[in-house]
Amino acid sequence: MDIIEMMKNPEILKTLSIGEKMLGSLIVMVLGIVTCFIVLLIIMFAIRIMGAAVGEKKKPQVPSVAPAPAPAPAASPVVAAPQEDEGELIAVITAAITAMRGSSSFRIRNISEKKAPPALSNWVSAGRIENFSSRRVAK
């Protein structure tokens, strides 16, 4: 009777030594790992086969021998794409502020994007409040 058969019976299992129990446990562990590995390999190959069957077929690139391109005519200057004029946008914003205030004498001191503080969960906020309130300040 091998060790696995002995481990199946609870009465015989009580009589086994610690070494025999450890050997049986090791065999079960190795069998579990090997089974898991084999199942993962089967899943991997099944996914690859399905991907090949359902996925798009890539056309093989055949190197074509094309005649050398004819020299291009004189290069024309590259015209950059027209960029949006920010001056017009600034003028519109200034006009809107002037209309709201009712006067034309004002000065814009600082225009910057304010970054919002990161949103904290209620647990984090409660923990910080509890932590700070538990500290004692020496007077």
pLDDT value of residue 137: 64
| Domains identified in the chain, total number | 1
- pLDDT greater at residue 62 or residue 87: 87
Average pLDDT over the chain, rounded to an integer: 79
Domain of 16, in residue numbers: 3-54
Question: How much is the average pLDDT of 91-111?
Answer: 77
In angstroms, the Cα distances linking 10 to 7, 14, 21, 37 are 7, 6, 12, 29
Query: What's the whole-model pTM score?
Result: 0.37
Helix (H, G, I), strand (E, B) or coil at 13: helix
Q: Residues near 98 by Cβ (< 8 Å), separated by ≥ 6?
A: 104, 106
Question: Is residue 26 domain-resident?
Answer: yes
Question: Is residue 69 domain-resident?
Answer: no
How many other CB atoms are there within 10 angstroms of residue 37's CB atom?
Answer: 10
Question: How much is the average pLDDT of 99-120?
Answer: 74
Question: Is residue 70 domain-resident?
Answer: no
Question: Is residue 48 domain-resident?
Answer: yes
Contact assessment for residue 108 and residue 90, using Cβ atoms and an 8 Å cutoff: no
